[in-house]
Structure 1
Amino acid sequence: MADRETLVYRGKIIDLYLEQVTLPNGAVAELEIVRHPGGAAVVALDSENQVCLLRQYRHAAGGWLWELPAGKLDLGESPLTSAQRELQEEAGVLATRWEPLGKIISSPGVFTEVVHLFLARNLSEVSASAEAHEVFEVHWVPFAKALAKARAGEIMDAKTLVGLFRADKMSIEM
């Protein structure tokens, strides 16, 4: 909890605050904190054990990245509802079997964003409806090949790496 906070910027997705806090060791620090509503990401596996990966253009990252279908939580939306919406919008599929894969904190030094991860199975096709500001290609990749891409450093997106490795561990335990 901040001793004092000042709103520096209010954006469409994030708000930036300067927060004066007293740390557990008694030191006082002024921190820049980016508040984000959080998000959800989906490891969608089809009946042939292929995973949906998006090859998505990310200006902030300097180009194209491999990512899971994902997006921010809308106001009042549960993480599961967000994951279901994003999977339909981006990949054009619905799932009838959902399993949580936990959550991650994307960059705890400055962001409040928590990303909720899900494994989705029993998929059926529907029409996709990507947003105008999103530029991506949908690829269905054998799960083993996706893991190999992750291990080789070809996948750099944190939520995608964690989602793939947790889904792999879950399938081993099942």
Structure 2
Amino acid sequence: AERRVCMVRQKRHAADGYLWELPAGKIDRGEPPLATARRELEEEGGVRAARWESLGDCVSSPGVLTETVHLYLARDLTGVATRHEAHEILEVHWLPLATVVEMAHAGEIHDAKTLVGIFRAARRLAHGGPEEGTSGGQP
């Protein structure tokens, strides 16, 4: 089966346009990163994953932000009913992994966390690696 990636296209005012991104969101106080990843994948992608693998962390702009991004690979997906928040005006697209990697290489994806997530997921899927079950955070 062809591997597909949930990509969200939404308006980002700071970037003055629409950006392609992986599902993501802010961690609620006291919430483990994996719980955030699960919630955001359900809310934005309309799916639930049976297996999660950590793809590590990254920092987006360490010179000015303390934000750490937790990256995860979600597998064994099933559809769920979803409802977008009113402030989340977005398009959801399920694209082939090869297409998304090509978009990243072609400069069509500008969001840093999305680029890191795509390349780490593509490498993990191509070369295998330890699966961490459900102990991992962001899809």
> Normalising to structure 1: TM-score of the pair?
0.72
Q: CA deviation at 1:67?
A: 0.2
Q: Which of 93, 99, 124 is the equivalent residue of 1:139?
A: 93
The CA distance in 2 between the partners of 1:97 and 1:151, in whole Å, is 28
Structure 2 counterparts to residues 49-68 of structure 1, below 5 A: 49-68=3-22
Q: Bigger CA drift: 124-133 or 135-144?
A: 124-133
Q: CA deviation at 1:129?
A: 2.2
1:87 is matched with 41
**Alignment pair present for 1:158 and 2:112:** yes
The CA distance in 2 between the partners of 1:79 and 1:167, in whole Å, is 17
Q: Greater relative contact order (Cα 8 A, min sep 6): structure 1 or 2? A: 2
Is the Cα–Cα contact under 8 Å of residues 105 and 114 in structure 1 kept in the other structure? yes
Q: CA deviation at 1:69?
A: 0.3
Name the larger-Rg structure.
1
The CA distance in 2 between the partners of 1:131 and 1:106, in whole Å, is 25
Is the Cα–Cα contact under 8 Å of residues 88 and 129 in structure 1 kept in the other structure? no
The CA distance in 2 between the partners of 1:62 and 1:82, in whole Å, is 26
Q: Which of 105, 120, 126 is the equivalent residue of 2:74?
A: 120
Give identity over the alignment, percent.
60
2:29 is matched with 75
Task: Letter of the 1:83 partner, please give it.
Answer: A
Compute the RMSD of aligned alpha carbons: 0.8
Which segments of 5 or more consecutive residues in structure 1 lack a partner in the other structure?
Answer: 1-46
The CA distance in 1 between the partners of 2:90 and 2:2, in whole Å, is 23
Which segments of 5 or more consecutive residues in structure 2 lack a partner in the other structure?
Answer: 129-139
Q: CA deviation at 1:48?
A: 3.0
Partner SS for 1:134: coil
Which has more helix, going by share of residues? 2
Q: CA deviation at 1:51?
A: 0.5
The CA distance in 2 between the partners of 1:131 and 1:109, in whole Å, is 31
After the TM superposition, which segments of 4 or more aligned residues of structure 1 sit over 4 Å from their partners? Answer: none
> Normalising to structure 2: TM-score of the pair?
0.90
1:170 is matched with 124
Is the Cα–Cα contact under 8 Å of residues 103 and 114 in structure 1 kept in the other structure? yes
Give the total of aligned pairs. Answer: 128
